Amino acid sequence: MRSEELQLLEQHLDGTLAEEDFARLEKLLLEDGEARAMLRTLATLDLGLHDIALGQQLHRNKELVETRSIPPRRTTSSSFSASWTRSLLAIATLAIIGLGIALWFQSSGSSAESAADRNIAKVTGTGGEVAFTGNGGSVTTDLKRGTLLTGGTIEGSSPTSWVELEFLDGSRVTVAGDSRLTFSDFDQKVLYLKDGSVASSVKPQNPDSPMLVYTRNAMLEVLGTEFEVESDVESTSLDVTEGKVRFKRLSDGQTVEVPANQRVQSAEGLKLSAQPIPDRTNQWEINLNHPHGMTGKWIPSTESLPPRLKLVHYWHKSPKAGSILIKSASMPVVGKDNQRVVLRPGSMLRVRGFAKANQKTVFGFVVRNNNGDFGGYYVSSKPKVYWMDLQTNDESRSGDLQSFEFVIDADDLCRGQDLDSQHFASTPVGLVADTFFCSTPPEDSDLEITEVEIFNQMQIE
């Protein structure tokens, strides 16, 4: 096999292949059985090296914990080396699931302090402004893919914040938007969702120690399934995509089993029962008379003006400029009967409100994949704008604020700058709109939103 062909295969696996070389790679793989066999061997090498490196990293973390809990004389270089080799071979023989189990059993006898220091999860994806408060109260905002975490609290601080965590057994949890989640995994996984939403895909758990998810008003028992939970001060909403989750309302102790494709809501006064997740819709409009779940400053209606949502300050992590201050407001996208709202071909976003002329503004959606996972965020940064017009007319507000209407095809929204093309689709069409948001630079911005809707393009033609 020629060296340039080998290089193509390596670049493909490394994710460094240039777009113009992709067709050449496909042709090679289609026509040459030897190249396909080499790709499989290189893929095996790639996976094996990842596993060995992960095993070594976990082993080092464990060594650090042990170094703190045993007398220093026991950590001589020879015992370190022998122990390293034995453990490495043992760990490398097991897969990720095995790694988690092995590490758990190895560390179950250590002190409470070392258990608290133990890394229990890895960041597998993140974006936007996210803070992690770990053991001992240390705070970091510098989370990256591959960062190992002890138990602690993850806090997203803007609508486009997100972080995906993977526990040692492969269970995944995605925290998105303005959410706060505390997690631990001593002898069982326990999550506390203070606010916001979490999507989870949980590997089969020991029936004696199911994963527990607490919100302000409910408790969920999870044995291995996919689900999405949203919580605020008043209610908790659970959608189960796969498997089954036991849902307990804390105020009266009532429980209900929620199977796949069903939903339950825990608001007080409502009968607690699992209902089929309603059919999806492609239409949505906000009702600003009931500003439930919105972020921003809500202004009630007056004699001459409708209720408005004003933008407030947020920190935003920009891939180019780092943490910057912006003004932003957001609102959940939920259909009339609590339906999920899908962006379909022809879906249009219309926003109305008051703004200054030439106000730099970004509108967008945070979306979810169809299984509830975080699907990225998409913005109107370089769109083909169908119609954007700041009008001076009778509806002019005080000062220099004027009414505006902004319309854009959902297919013209662009993927967030910090989202990679391998994991996030190039367009939000086909995905579920989760949150609408609007952002502006912090200075000199008084934008107010009065109406937002998603409608089908056919309706205006």
Partner 1 sequence: MRLLIRHDRAIRAWLRASLPSMNDVDEVMQEVSVVAWRKFDQLDDPENFQRWVSVIARYEILMYRRKKARDRFVLGKEVEQLIAEEGQEELKLREQQLGALEHCVQKLPESKRELVMEVYSSGQPMHEVAKQLGKSDAALYKSISRVRQSLLECVKRSLAEGAAS
Does the protein bind partner 1 through residue 10 (CB under 8 A)? yes
Query: Which of residues 61 and 359 has its CB atom nearest to partner 1 in the complex?
Result: 61
Residue pair 106/168 in contact (Cβ under 8 Å)? The answer is: no
Stretch that binds partner 1, among 25-33, 104-112, 390-398, 400-408 (CB under 8 A): 25-33
- Answer yes or no whether residue 92 interacts with partner 1 by CB under 8 A: yes
Bridge partners (DSSP) of residue 263 are 239, 275
Q: DSSP string of 252-294?
A: T--EEEEETTEEEE--TTS----EEPPPPBS-EE--TTS-TT-
Q: Which stretch binds partner 1 (CB under 8 A): 130-138, 154-162, 196-204, 280-288?
A: 196-204
- Tell me phi and psi for residue 96, to 5 degrees: -55, -45
- Least distance from partner 1 to the Cβ atom of residue 147, Å: 8
Query: Which residues between 41 and 60 bind partner 1 (CB under 8 A)?
Result: 41-54, 56-57
Q: What are residue 443's phi and psi, to 5 degrees?
A: -80, 145
The answer to whether residue 16 forms part of the interface with partner 1 (CB under 8 A) is: yes
- Structure-token pair, residue 279: 């059919």
- Is residue 1 part of the contact set for partner 1 (CB under 8 A)? no
3-state secondary structure of 130: strand
| Shortest Å, Cβ 29 to partner 1 | 5
Q: Which of 62, 87, 115, 122 binds partner 1 (CB under 8 A)?
A: 122
Q: Is 178 helix (H, G, I), strand (E, B) or coil?
A: strand
Residues 388-447 that bind partner 1 (CB under 8 A): 421-423, 425-427
Burial class (CB within 10 angstroms; exposed 0-12, middle 13-18, buried 19+) of 352 = middle
Distance in Å, CB of 74 to partner 1, minimum: 24
Q: Is residue 89 near partner 1 by the rule CB under 8 A?
A: yes
Residues 234-293 that bind partner 1 (CB under 8 A): 242-243
- Tokens representing 447? 């934008």
Answer yes or no whether residue 96 interacts with partner 1 by CB under 8 A.
yes
C-beta of residue 389 within 8 angstroms of C-beta of residue 404: yes
Question: In angstroms, what is the minimal distance from the CB of 34 to partner 1?
Answer: 11
Q: How far is CA 184 from CA 7, 81, 111, 220, in A?
A: 43, 31, 16, 15
Give the nearer residue to partner 1 in terms of CB position, either 124 or 182: 124
Distance (Å, whole) CA 332 – CA 309: 13
Q: How many residues bind partner 1 (CB under 8 A)?
A: 70
Please classify residue 66 by burial: count the beta carbons closer than 10 Å to its beta carbon, then call 0-12 exposed, 13-18 middle and 19+ buried. Answer: middle
Question: Minimal distance in Å, beta carbon 422 to partner 1?
Answer: 6
Backbone phi, psi, residue 91, to 5° = -70, -40
Nearer to partner 1, 50 or 360 (CB): 50
Q: Which of 66, 67, 83, 97 binds partner 1 (CB under 8 A)?
A: 97
Build a one-symbol-per-residue string for 137-176: x at contacts with partner 1 by CB under 8 A, - elsewhere. -------xxxx------------------x---x-x----
Q: Which of 107, 117, 125, 341 binds partner 1 (CB under 8 A)?
A: 125
- DSSP string of 406-445, one letter each residue: EEEEGGGPEEPTTS-TTTS-SS-TTSEEEEEEEEE-STT-
Q: Measured from the CB of residue 52, what is the shortest distance to partner 1 in angstroms?
A: 6
Which residues of the chain form contacts with partner 1 (CB under 8 A)?
7, 10, 12-17, 19, 22, 26, 29-30, 33, 36-37, 39-54, 56-57, 85, 88-89, 92-98, 101, 122, 124-125, 144-147, 166, 170, 172, 201, 203-204, 224-226, 242-243, 369, 421-423, 425-427
